[in-house]
Amino acid sequence: MRLRSVSLAIATLLAATAPVHPRLNPWVTAPSPTAISQHEKPSEESGIKVLAEDRYSTQTTPFLAVVRDQGTYTELRKIVPALPVVLDDFFKQNVVVAAFMGQRSSAGYSIEFTRDARGLLHVVAKGPAKGSMTAAVITSPAKVVSIPEPRWYGLEADMFWKSAMSLYRVTRGNFSMIGGFAGRRADFGLTGDLLLMREGNLATFLFNLENADGSRDRHLKETITGVVKSSATTIPAMSPDALIEVPHSKLSANGKFTNQSKSLELTFKSHPLMIADGYSGEGWLEAEVVAGSKKVEGRP
């Protein structure tokens, strides 16, 4: 009888510690996949609300996405089918950020989102502690969160994702801003670079642009995801950062990849203004992939 009790205890312990098979560990979603409105409040003081999380996602390579429109979110749901449906007003007041670590060789990997004192959102890829014992099971951690737009101050991703991106350098570019009561206008060249990664019909851009005269009073430091169909790319909504004075509306961008994705052309244009004395702008850039940079190809 005692031997039987010990055997039962061991079996119970093994069941509790055994890795969960991917098919038995579907995406954990919060809230349930019913329609979400902009009026629903984040459950944490940081404003970070988890929409979905999984240790065994189908995404096998690292990828980041920052989504600010319904169309791009629809494409993201093709990668994460369990993401909740959102109503049309959701992106008026929310930004969605998705992080995928890709395939890992063991358990113990995770993704952490935090906010710093400035409000900047940080995403960090965490691995097993040095010397720790982990289950020998293939994992692919992923996490999707939303942030209230009024508290959105940008994203800072660690090198785990940046090292998987391709570097493009701006070769030519120009931007014009106009607005205010006096109709003030400013024209300036664009210089800088951007990091880029693609997955399926999605492309994520990490812009690091500034005024070409070196004054740095006009700049764009923004992470945003758009949709790519064939060679054409569209970013329906993004922040203009300091390219345009406040008050301003969002920017949209359209462009195309050429020369086997080694070249990129983009045009920018402000959304319609709702304020009489607000500022708007438009511009364009051309960029070339830096030699030796990672080759960028979307996977079907």
**In a shared domain, residues 220 and 150:** no
Asked whether residue 295 is domain-assigned, the answer is no
Q: What is the pLDDT of residues 7-40, one digit of tens each?
A: 444 444 433 443 333 323 333 333 333 444 444 4
Higher-scoring residue by pLDDT: 169, 298: 169
- Give the Cα-Cα-Cα angle 88, 119, 246 (nearest 5 degrees): 65
Shared-domain flag, residues 111 and 183: no
pLDDT in tens, 41-68: 444 467 899 999 999 999 999 999 999 9
Last residue of a domain, one of 162, 196, 221: 162
Per-residue pLDDT tens for 281-296?
Answer: 999 999 999 987 764 4
Instruction: Provide the pairing of β-strand 263-270 with 202-211.
Output: unpaired
Structurally, how many domains does the chain consist of? 2
The CATH number that applies at residue 188 is 2.40.160.90
Do residue 226 and residue 117 come from a single domain? no
pLDDT at 89 over 80: yes
Same domain membership, residue 172 and residue 137: no
The answer to whether residues 144 and 35 belong to one domain is yes
pLDDT digits (tens, 9 = 90+) for 179-193: 988 888 999 999 999
CA distance 213 to 55: 47
Q: 253 and 142: one domain?
A: no
- Rounded to an integer, the average pLDDT of 142-158 is 93
Check whether residue 135 and residue 31 sit in a common domain.
yes
Same-domain status, 221 and 282: yes
Q: Does residue 17 fall inside a structural domain?
A: no
Query: What average pLDDT score do residues 199-222 get?
Result: 93
Cβ pair 113, 145 in contact under 8 A: yes
Supply the pLDDT for residue 97: 98
Q: Which pLDDT score is estimated for 175? A: 98
Identify the domain boundary among 136, 162, 188.
162
Domain end position, chosen among 114, 140, 162: 162
Q: Say yes or no to pLDDT of 231 above 90.
A: yes
SS3 state at 165: coil
- As a whole number, the mean pLDDT across the chain is 85
Evaluate whether residue 111 is within a structural domain.
yes
- Quote the pLDDT of residue 208: 97
Within a domain: 32: yes
**Is 151 contained in some domain?**
yes
Q: What is the pLDDT of residue 45?
A: 61
CB 51 within 8 A of CB 33: no
- Of 107 and 33, more confident: 107
DSSP 38-81: TTPPPSSTT--EEEEEESB-S--S-EEEEE-SHHHHHHHHHHST
CB 123 within 8 A of CB 63: no
State residue 294's pLDDT score.
Answer: 63
pTM, rounded to two decimals: 0.83
Residues 140 and 192 in one domain: no
Q: Domain of 130?
A: 22-162
Give CA–CA dist 281/241, Å, rounded.
12
296 located within any domain = no
Q: Is residue 213 part of a domain?
A: yes
Which DSSP symbol is given to 84?
P
User: Is the pLDDT assigned to residue 194 strictly greater than 80?
Assistant: yes
**One domain for residues 150 and 251:** no
List all residues 6 or more positions away from 167 whose beta carbon is below 8 Å from its beta carbon. 193, 194, 195, 196, 289, 290, 293
Give the C-alpha separation, 89 to 91, whole Å: 6
The answer as to whether 235 is a domain residue is: yes
Both 135 and 194 in one domain: the answer is: no
User: Is residue 199 located within the same domain as residue 94?
Assistant: no
Q: How confident is the model at residue 76 (pLDDT cuts 50, 70, 90)?
A: very high
